[in-house]
Chain A
Amino acid sequence: MSTQTTASERTTLNTLKSTKPGLWATVSALLRKELLIELRTLESVPGMSLFSVTVFVIFHFALHQNTVSGDEASGILWVTLLFAAMLAVNRLFVADSDQGGFDSFLLAPVDRSALMIAKALALLIYLLVLELVAVPAFGLLLLGPSLGAAMPDLLAVLALADLGLALIGTLVAALAVRTRARDLLGPLLALPLLVPVVIGAARSSSPLMAAGHHGSMQVRWLMTLALYDLVFGLISYAVFDFLLED
């Protein structure tokens, strides 16, 4: 290869080079990368799904009950989903940290919030896929009342709770990943922050799982959940840049 060829390539590059990529173009590139890596490695979603089904089976034997309903059912579902989510939270930034993705991202002329948004979206997608497996499995293995009619309301609770899990999980994962004890620090930081999400989600969905009849969803708890999501969305957006700094 001659020097002349390279010089002409550089000229071509200069003319091809576009302006700084926008926020959503960056988010889309990063999210695509996240999903591709998960599809190739299957490190998060299968583990989360298997974990949640196993926990339902354990509860089935531990409670010595064929079915559960109401507060008990709601609590079991949300605690299981919370711990399953922690598996993905712990792995969320590992590839970036171990393989230098952080450094190459920090060298790019892009808005750093794009990484937070892409990671939160990736975690949200993992949680939605998890629930495609976990909620039917819960219905089959433990839940007494049928979820059929309550499903639209339950979907609203799942969506808001997942958003909270994704935002807080991303924030905490970014904090923990650069420490030596990241596997311990992640859950220790995340679980207290996620308690309000579990309370809101469990209280909202408890009437939907009540025996005999389907009660109405508690909108007050749903609004609390939405507000908590909003607050953590704003906090994450405000502080994420600083978490990436040296």
Chain B
Amino acid sequence: MPLLAQAFEKRSAAYLTRWLICAMLSTSRRESEGTADTNRLALELMGLERRFGERVALSKLSLSLERGATLVVFGPNGAGKTTLLRVLATLLRPHAGKVRMFGHELPAESWALRGRIGLLAHEPLLYRELTTRENLTLHARLHGVSMERVEQTLEAVALGSRAGEPLRMLSRGMVQRAAIARVVLHDPELLLLDEPRANLDPAAGELVEPLIGRSSGRTRVISSHDPASGLAEADLVLGLRAGRPALLQSASSTDPDEITELYR
């Protein structure tokens, strides 16, 4: 029973803190519209570290990214790209350092970021037995988005005619388009994209460009293995090797050979 009471207390305290922070934030917003940095920066990492048991997946990672800008992360398999995306998606807790997104610190204020992030992972995060429309409808209901938007998004990824088929019946490219539809359905401010053009043919790549490309106007963090196309997307380039930053500079001053070097 003391454990139960403690859990309830913890939960109530969390809700009270959340409410107080909300009230304080809305007051301060009304008063001063926040600090200049909070308004300008989408992302600030200060000495971020994440481990899995004894293995260090990310270490000493510090950077900042302006709103609307694109960070492209390069690195060989196991370098920590996916871990970084999952920390930013609030799915993994940082073990050391600070992570601040849109003025909210992780993990304490991760609740404030839910619904503002679109994560495109290796897996489509969709149910194989449901149709694309059913998957998107579920997602829309979880995000408080209208059914009209579901149809618009299906059209935007050219899946309108196949939206009634179970996801397991679709090709990999179509599943990737369905996953992209899920990612942009709730109009997130931040896109976290793990190799977003994997399995897409050139036409599909063009099709999704306005949704997840630079022209979407959203802040983006992209994991990529392709130096040429990755650099074309990037404002800021991060190269990871064994979880540590081996390269961090603006895209304009980055040579593709420096990226290729990360994989040697």
Contacts and interface: CB of A to CB of B under 8 A. Distances in A.
Interface stretch (A155-163, A217-225, A235-243): A235-243
Contacts, number: 131
B198 interface: no
A108 B119 CA distance: 11
B187 A10 contact: yes
A242 B7 contact: yes
Nearest to B158: A1
B91 A26 contact: no
Interface string B99-114: 0000000000001001
B2 interface: no
Contacts of A238: 4, 7-8, 11
A106 interface: yes
A99 interface: yes
A1 B208 CA distance: 9
A9 B156 contact: yes
Nearest to A5: B210
B91 to A, nearest CB: 6
Interface string B47-70: 000000000000000000000000
Interface stretch (B37-45, B136-144, B236-244): B136-144
Contact of B145 (A17, A30, A99, A107): A17
Nearest to B157: A1
Contacts of A110: 114, 142
B145 A104 contact: no
B146 A100 contact: no
B186 interface: yes
A72 interface: no
A65 interface: no
A99 B141 contact: no
B182 interface: yes
A9 B216 CA distance: 11
A40 B210 CA distance: 34
B179 to A, nearest CB: 9
A interface, how many residues as a size bin?
A: 35 or more
A246 B141 CA distance: 24
Interface string A25-44: 11011101100110011000
A13 B91 contact: no
B191 interface: no
A105 B91 CA distance: 11
Given A10-B187, A20-B115, A103-B121, A3 B139 contact: no
A7 to B, nearest CB: 8
Nearest to A9: B152
Contacts of A9: 152, 156
Interface in B74-88: none
Given A99-B125, A100-B124, A110-B142, 13 more contacts: A16-B145, A17-B144, A18-B145, A21-B143, A25-B141, A29-B141, A30-B138, A105-B142, A108-B115, A109-B111, A109-B114, A109-B115, A241-B11
The 4 closest A-B pairs by CB, nearest first: A109-B115, A100-B125, A6-B210, A29-B141
Interface of A: 1-3, 5-7, 9-10, 12-14, 16-21, 25-26, 28-30, 32-33, 36-37, 40-41, 95, 99-101, 103-110, 234-235, 238-239, 241-242, 245-246
7 contacts: A1-B156, A9-B156, A13-B187, A33-B138, A100-B125, A106-B91, A107-B119
